[in-house]
Amino acid sequence: MTTFADLGLSQKVLSAVTDAGYSTPTPIQAGAIPPALQRRDILGIAQTGTGKTASFVLPMLTLLEKGRARARMPRTLILEPTRELAAQVAENFEKYGKNHKLNVALLIGGVSFDEQDRKLERGADVLICTPGRLLDHCERGKLLMTGVEVFVIDEADRMLDMGFIPDIERIAKMIPFTRQTLFFSATMPPEIQKLADRFLQNPERVEVAKPSSTTKTITQRIVASHNKDYEKRAVLRDLIKAQDELKNAIIFCNRKKDVADLFRSLERHGFSVGALHGDMDQRSRTAMLQGFKDNQITLLVASDVAARGLDIPDVSHVFNFDVPIHAEDYVHRIGRTGRAGRSGQAFTLVTKSDSKYLDAIEKLIGEKIEWLSGDLSELGAPMESFESGDKGRRGRDKGRGDKDRGRDRGRDRDGRRGSSSHSDDTKPVDTVAVSQPKEPVAVTETTRTEVVNAEAKQDTRRQQNGNRNARPYPANDDGRDQRRQRHHRDHDDGPTPVGFGDDIPAFMLIAGKA
């Protein structure tokens, strides 16, 4: 049987791999590492979860042992579609490069240029980037790509979906033709094949089967729900509470707004919960993901930014709050559980209008998913709407912009302020079955408002177009914003606040640069 020692990797790399507890390479690693070490181009066709990342990180580390980086001239470049994946690759370099003295620069958006500039100035051996930020650095003229020896394009098909191909072409033009190119994609549609043909010279093609274990180790169930968000939230809560072996879970929504709404709802119901979507500020994204990995957060509500490639080894459950519109996304989402041979549970909430998407999913995976109990035809009457019992609220909305009103509509549905007797809100917080229903630790202390803010930021962006630095809520001197204080009051029935209370005039909510 092949071991890592047979692949031609350097001692430094081998000892780091051994320390990490690995001895046997995965098929993509066994297939890609030897030719990569011989400076061949690679066409790797592999899904995430096949050990793909190490299949380029390990040979790159070995190759980088010769030579030294010069200022502003990176020696290798890796492109990733999302910031989280880029950060994950950087972590891999830390882990397997612990015996090396390499300067690894992570160039992603949403964070300050300063530290990135400093790393570039010192001379980066490895540049790990999302396309936008890399181009931004290039345009500032602080980066010379003429020294790049190894160019990695990861998740090419996803980059195509995301419209990054023109950016990648621009970047590729800046890199010398003599480079070595490692190109990875989970699938090979014609456009990707064309791209590969243009970028690669006589590549070694390494194709590995989909990890069949993913679906085998995952128990999948579908759960019927009415279409209203508050009903879906109630179904979800019941489902979560019914799990006896829920260690942690990722809950996927189709829209960023619903991520924010569901996050707030679950938080209000006392769950240990975090959120992750692309309009959150990067600090929160990083903190939420880290808090989830560290088991400080039990539930992570996420958009499809978290669907692919994120490497969290022991997620016990995946819940699809929404049926994904694209069937492949279903496979990616549920693939966040049942990893590394563990068992996993995947539940998908299905409403009547979802049936065609469900059909597409079942067709793709080649099997019918079992209903947890009953099916759509057995749904009772929808919950009574309580819109009418919701007077008072309109008064509170007076003087606030439309954007705020729009946001609060979702909030009032199942997250009413103060004490509520609505059925959706009757469960006292302390009956929650999930671990640690307490405040979700320091991580969320600093970040949870920013989930809310991100959403408002989106609105602000949309409405104000041009005032990009607008802070959606006025900050207090401790750096928190007033919205957070209001949020706190949701949890107690204290006296009506003085000052603006909930009636902060719209113009004050937009504290832009005047």
Partner DNA sequence: AAAAAAG
To DNA, the closest distance from the beta carbon of 466 in angstroms equals 11
**108/182 with CB nearer DNA:** 108
Cα 376 to Cα 372, 413, 475, 502: the distances in Å are 11, 23, 47, 40
To DNA, the closest distance from the beta carbon of 66 in angstroms equals 30
* Beta carbons within 8 Å of 187's beta carbon, 6+ residues apart: 45, 157
What is d(CA 7, CA 358) in angstroms, rounded to the nearest whole number? 43
**322/425 with CB nearer DNA:** 322
In one-letter notation, the amino acid at residue 302 is A
**130/220 with CB nearer DNA:** 130
**92/284 with CB nearer DNA:** 284
**41/258 with CB nearer DNA:** 258
Joined together, the tokens standing for residue 26 give 């995965």
To DNA, the closest distance from the beta carbon of 173 in angstroms equals 15
* Beta carbons within 8 Å of 449's beta carbon, 6+ residues apart: 473, 480, 481, 483, 484, 487
Question: Locate tokens 């919960």: which residue?
Answer: 273
What ranges make up the beta strands (E) of 38-111?
Answer: 42-45, 76-79, 104-107
CA 514 to chain centre: 34
To DNA, the closest distance from the beta carbon of 28 in angstroms equals 24
To DNA, the closest distance from the beta carbon of 448 in angstroms equals 17
Quick check: helix, strand or coil at residue 399? coil
Assess contact for 16 and 96: CB atoms under 8 A: yes
**30/323 with CB nearer DNA:** 323
To DNA, the closest distance from the beta carbon of 15 in angstroms equals 34
285 closest CA partner among 313, 314, 268, 263:
263
What is d(CA 36, CA 55) in angstroms, rounded to the nearest whole number? 9
Q: Give one DSSP letter per residue of 97-118, joined into a string.
A: TTTS---EEEE-TTS-HHHHHH
To DNA, the closest distance from the beta carbon of 132 in angstroms equals 2
To DNA, the closest distance from the beta carbon of 224 in angstroms equals 15
Assess contact for 387 and 273: CB atoms under 8 A: no
**108/200 with CB nearer DNA:** 108
According to DSSP, residue 384 is labeled P
Residues that bind DNA (CB under 7 A): 81-84, 108-110, 129-136, 139, 161-164, 254-258, 277-279, 303-305, 325-326, 329, 353-354, 356-357, 468
Joined together, the tokens standing for residue 35 give 């030719």
**180/351 with CB nearer DNA:** 351
